[in-house]
Amino acid sequence: MDDELRKKLASWKVQPQIPADFQRRVWDRIAVREARTSRLHFVMVWAVALMRQPRVAVCAIALSALIGAGLGLAESGRANTENWKLLEAKYVQSIDPNEHLQSY
């Protein structure tokens, strides 16, 4: 069994079909990836350099606080409107027996 397998393996020849522009395509892909990596690296280096300046870091934190406060106020406006409608419904329930009945 082993001899037979060995013979078959010995007679097995792989003839890969490599496209004519295979090498060029590989190099193209490497170049594209390197360009992408170097762009990201450039952005990271730039951001790190920027954050070295304490004034920029403080500005980034202050901006974040401002955005947080703005979003928080907008969200609280929405929540207050919702609760205001809930209070109106509560009042209507207290004077309308039909509405009052729904709460049972």
Partner 1 sequence: MSNPLIPTSTSNRIRPEYRLGVVLIAALGIGLLTFYACKFFATREVREMTQSPSGGLEWLRREFHLTDTQFKNIEDLQAAYAPACNEMCSRIMEANSKVSVLVAQNDKMTPELEAAIQEANAVQLNCRTQTLAHIYRVSAQMNPSDGQRYLRMMASRVLQPGPSSDTAVRAATE
Residues at the site binding partner 1, with contacts judged by CB under 8 A: 44, 47-48, 51-52, 54, 57, 60-61, 63-69, 71-73, 75-77, 79-80, 82-104
Looking up tokens 């762009």 gives 39
In the bound complex, what is the minimum distance in angstroms from residue 58's beta carbon to partner 1? 9
Whole-number Å distance between alpha carbons of 76 and 103: 27
Q: Please identify, using beta-carbon distances, which residue of 17 and 103 lies nearer to partner 1.
A: 103
Q: Please identify, using beta-carbon distances, which residue of 11 and 102 lies nearer to partner 1.
A: 102
Three-class SS of residue 14?
A: coil
In the bound complex, what is the minimum distance in angstroms from residue 78's beta carbon to partner 1? 9
In the bound complex, what is the minimum distance in angstroms from residue 88's beta carbon to partner 1? 6
Q: Which of 21, 24, 20, 43 lies closest to 32 in space, CA to CA?
A: 24
Q: Please identify, using beta-carbon distances, which residue of 32 and 61 lies nearer to partner 1.
A: 61
- 30: DSSP letter: H
φ/ψ of 94, rounded to 5, equals -75, -15
Q: Please identify, using beta-carbon distances, which residue of 35 and 44 lies nearer to partner 1.
A: 44
Whole-number Å distance between alpha carbons of 50 and 58: 11
For the chain, the maximum distance between any two Cα atoms, rounded to a whole number of angstroms, is 98
In the bound complex, what is the minimum distance in angstroms from residue 36's beta carbon to partner 1? 20
